[in-house]
Structure 1
Amino acid sequence: MAFIPHPDADILAVAGRLEPSERTRLREIHEFLQSEIAPVTGPYWDAEEFPFDLLPKLASEGLGEVELGQTSRLFRGLVYAELTRADVSVSAFVGIHNELIVGMLNELGSEEQKKTWLPGLRTFDKAGCFALTEPEHGSDIAGGLATTAERTAEGWVINGKKRWIGGGTFADFAITFARDTADGSIRAFLVELDRVGVSAEKISGKMGLRIMQNADIIFDGVTIPHGNALPGAQSFANVNDFLCSSRAWVGWQGAGIQLAIFDAARDYAINRQQFGRPIAKFQLVQEQLVRILGNASASLALMAQVAEVQQHGGLVMPIAALAKATTTRLARESASLGRAIGGGNGILTEHGLSKLMGDAEVLFTYEGTYDINSLIVGRAVTGVSAFVS
């Protein structure tokens, strides 16, 4: 086998498992993201601003409707990985948009809701956000959700607070989870964010995912029509499949960010001169690069198998939780190694390594913390729950 001096970070050729047409399409998406998105996101990250001007470009590549195509799970997962490789915040927006907004509306929404919103969502002319987490309820949201929905003659009246809602400062609507005051069940409602009683405030000062505009949203006596309830989401169980899939999606983010870390660390090591030679010639640097590559390869291989399971309808929460916990744990280690290779320059967003390190910390935490996901898996493999009862 010939020596390849600069192989792609997918050294095990996981993408090679795709059908030829999907492999070609993935390469096109990769080239688009690396030429049009990755080079320009740094200033947005520094300024905590959202790149609205990039949305038409993303739409032109069909990235607003990933979940509506007849593509394999592996292809979709690798697309999400490539999005993350380009920028973690952009991947978070596109992933939530597809997995939890477009996907949920398409499967659980009414025909009128789909007719009203899906065309604009497919092209990013419209945006939704997913309002589940609350200020006092994150990991325990299923049992502790406090936002309420009361059915009246005029419609549903929504009261409550949501926190960490991605895109909540500019979305057209929120898929909002609230407890029905009549029977205590958790239901989902489409709440337009320009309605009276809705207010949203950006959460600033984040160490990572700075491009994503997370928000605190308050619903103060917000009245919506009866038809804004999602007919297919009349209990929390109805949305579990989407939450399971979105957790697996973060597993793909964990793999994708490691591709970006390897790319940035390798390029820096090859080009940075110290003691009269590239630092890539030093043994310790090569060992660190290989550890990053090993972590990335293990994560991609794991996620490829998860995609195979998901393709055949076998994805369950313990598998998704294991994938998310493992790839983001490895991403955290890879980010630390990559930043170290950058030395003093590694703390500058100019070189991308500090940006990736901050973003890796967010992936480690959101969609269920590492600890919570570990306990989900631990309960499955031991038959004993370690959650507080």
Structure 2
Amino acid sequence: MSLAGVKCLVTGAGGFLGQRIVCQLLEEEEGLAEIRATDKAISSEALRRFGKQKTKTLLTTMQGDIRDAAFLHKAVQGVSLVIHTACIIDTLGHVDRQTLWDVNVRGTQLLLEACLRNDVQYFVYTSSLEVTGPNSRGDPIFNGDEDTVYQRTKTFPYAETKKEAEKSVLELDSQPLQDGSRFVTCALRSMFIFGEESPFLLLHLDETIQNDNVFYRMSRKEALVNPVYVGNIAWGHIQVAKAMRDPEKVQHIRGKFYYISDDTPHLSYADFTYELIKELGYGIAPKLPMPLTMLYYYALLLEIVSFLLQPFVRYIPTLNRPLLTLLNTPFTFSYRKAQRDFGYAPRYSWKEAKQLTGQWIAKIDPLRRAYLKNKAL
């Protein structure tokens, strides 16, 4: 099944993942009728990237807020497929809880309401591994799947909003539409995403340069995770969208969530980042700066200081206990069910993903060095 002739809305199209989804949709051999790329802001660089694609598909860019019901109503008119990636990612507390909730949860609910009012039939939601965990105890999962039982506990506000938004999406599956059809929804729980233009890799690169070219280790070697390449998670969205239009496959998909990973090696977050930057001559700290238990107490102290300073100044620690747990809990998942139910298979091998990411890092490395040097002057 193809997406030929489909009108598709991609939210968060200016973001790291959203841009890649739009580009892959534009590359489809059997072109879509229209792709509407929406975001609160779409950079000139993103527009340039979209413009490089040789396609007959109409690309419409729309700038607006996911919290604006009138904007969403306009954005979905005449559309049959929505791929919803727009959200705020925040693991340190830079964004207040209400804003996180309004964008990630209420924004998703408003989009769903607009879809139901306008007979949008298919809805793919970009969820997160953090909907599952890890929990506050740091209980590990090795090669888990959608049937893995895991006791979840309260965690980041970001993770809570993604959980609630995913619930809203999946609960509305099979809702009747005015044209007599039924709403089809599913959610893709992504691993940590890496690749060219990754804001997190850019942040890590800057920190490493400022630390005399040594990456600062904050995760144990045994805390294995399996990141996913941005080109593969984007491809997963397109593959599931195609399968939703298949009368046989859709019954296996509707109302369900899927873990999307690829063949990236299982490493700790720190060792994985090092794997991507080591060819540029960077090093990595051999161990944590202090024993893990002491790090937890240190993070707790930072949280207490942040709380006590609230009446006077806004202090956001660079480390907190949930983040430390996330970085030091073995947490890996298989994509077998996605492969079985809708034919997901990584579009890029680990070798290709590493090469493409490495080339991007090598290109921006001298630029970041010059920027940081000038910033320090």
TM band (smaller chain)? 0.3 to 0.5
Give the structure-2-normalised TM-score.
0.35
Larger helix fraction of residues? 1
Give the structure-1-normalised TM-score.
0.34
